Amino acid sequence: MFTLAELAEKLSARLVGDGSVLISGIAPLYRATQGEITFLLSPTYKSLLADSKASAIVMSKEFLSDYSGNALIVDNPNLTHAQLAAFFVKTTEFSPGIHPSAVVAATATVDPSASIGAHCVIGERVKIGPKTRVGHGTVIGDDCSLGGFCHLASNVTLYNNVKAKDRVTIHSGVVIGADGFGLVNHQGRWIKIPQLGGVSLGNDVEVGANTTIDRGAMDDTILEDGVKCDNQIQIGHNVVIGAHTAIAGCVGIAGSSKIGKHCMIGGASAIADHVEITDQVILTGGAQVSQSITEPGIYSSGCPVQPRLQWHRQVIRTRQLDQLFHRVKKLEQASDEHDHD
C-alpha cells in the first residue's frame, strides 16, 4: 500500500489533490473504487471520468479540466501504467537451491543463488546464472546457458545449445531449439537436412506461452536484446529478429527471414522465408509479407471481414480481372491503330 504522494514521487508525476490518500491496488476506469488508482489511456473513455469512484486517476494534463478528483499528471499514461503496475505485482517467493526431485548433470554449473524447481532435468555442461529461476518440470538440454535473473516458467523445453543472456523470461509451454523445417526433395521423397545451429536470445527477451523457436541449420536463430514475443508464435530456423521488436500472437515467421530493430508485428501476420524487413516497420494484424520491406512505415494487407454475399461478389470480380485486363488491352490497341489511321 502506498500514499498517492509516494506514488507521485516514484513516478515523477505531478500530484493534484490529496497526497495522503492510500492506494492499495489498480483497476480499470469503469470499475475502479475507493482505495484503487486507475488510468485514462484514451480520449474515448473521457466520459467515464465524472462517475469514477477511484481514489485517483493517472492522466495527461489535457484532461485535467474534465475531472475534479485526485490525479497524477504525466506525459505518457501508458508508460506510467506499466511502471505503476510493477509496484503491485504479487511475486511468488522462491528459495535458492535445487529441488531434490530435479535431475542435474554432473557437468552442469548452477549458481548457488539460482532456483531449480521440482522434476526439472538439466543437461550436460549447462550453465545457469545468478538469481535465475527454473520452474517445475522444465527440461534444459546439453550445452545451454542462462544468464542472471532469468525466469523460466514451468514446463519449458530448451533443446541443446540454446543460449540466453540476462533477464530473459520464458513462459510455460515454450519450445526453443527444435529442428528447423529443413528438407530437400529427392525423387519424390523428403530428405531431412540435419540442423546444426542453435538459438541465441539477448538481454531482456520475453517469449510468450506455447511459442516455438527453431534452431538454425548452420548458424543460430537470433533474437536480439529486448525482443518481446507474444503467445503461440512460430519462428523458423535462421531467423534474425532485431533489438526491441515486438511480435503479437499467432505470427508465423518462415526460415532465414531477417526482421529489423524496433519493429511491431501485428497478430496473425505471416512472413515468408528469406524476406528482409528493415528497422521501424509496423505490420498491422494479418499482414502477409512475401517480399522484402526496405522502407520504414506502416504496412497492411488482407481483406477485412464483411457479409458473405458481399465477399462472394468481390471474389467473383477479382477472378474476372484478368479477362477484363485483356479486354481493355485490346481496346487500347484498337484505339492506337485508329489514331494512327
User: What's the pTM?
Assistant: 0.88
Query: What's the CA gap between 288 and 299, in Å, rounded?
Result: 9
In a 3-state reduction of DSSP, which class is residue 335? helix
pLDDT of res. 335: 83
The DSSP result for 59-95, as a single string, is: E-GGGGGG--S-EEE-S-HHHHHHHHHHHT--PPP--
Catalytic annotation, pick one of 136, 237, 244, 338 = 237
Q: Nine-digit cell at 333?
A: 490497341
The answer to whether the beta carbons of residues 103 and 123 sit under 8 Å apart is no
Sheet of strand 297-299, all strands in order from the earlier edge strand to the far edge: 97-98, 115-116, 133-134, 151-152, 169-170, 206-207, 228-229, 246-247, 264-265, 281-283, 297-299
Q: Nine-digit cell at 56?
A: 485517483
> Is residue 338 annotated as part of the catalytic site, yes or no?
no
Query: What's the CA gap between 265 and 258, in Å, rounded?
Result: 13
pLDDT of res. 256: 97
Query: What's the CA gap between 94 and 60, in Å, rounded?
Result: 38
pLDDT of res. 334: 86
3-state percent breakdown (helix, strand, coil) of the chain, nearest 5? 20, 30, 55
Taking only the tens of pLDDT, the chain with its 341 residues reads: 999 999 999 999 999 999 999 999 999 999 999 999 999 998 999 999 989 999 999 999 999 988 999 999 999 999 999 999 999 988 777 889 999 999 999 999 999 999 999 999 999 999 999 999 999 999 999 999 999 999 999 999 999 999 999 999 999 999 999 999 999 999 999 999 999 999 999 999 999 999 999 999 999 999 999 999 999 999 999 999 999 999 999 999 999 999 999 999 999 999 999 999 999 999 999 999 999 999 999 999 988 889 999 999 998 998 999 999 999 999 988 888 777 66
pLDDT of res. 52: 93
With 0-12 / 13-18 / 19 or more C-beta atoms within 10 angstroms meaning exposed / middle / buried, residue 287 is: buried
Angle at 210 between CA 208 and CA 213, to 5 degrees: 80
pLDDT of res. 341: 63
Query: DSSP state, 295?
Result: S
Query: What's the CA gap between 102 and 154, in Å, rounded?
Result: 13
Q: Nine-digit cell at 150?
A: 532469468
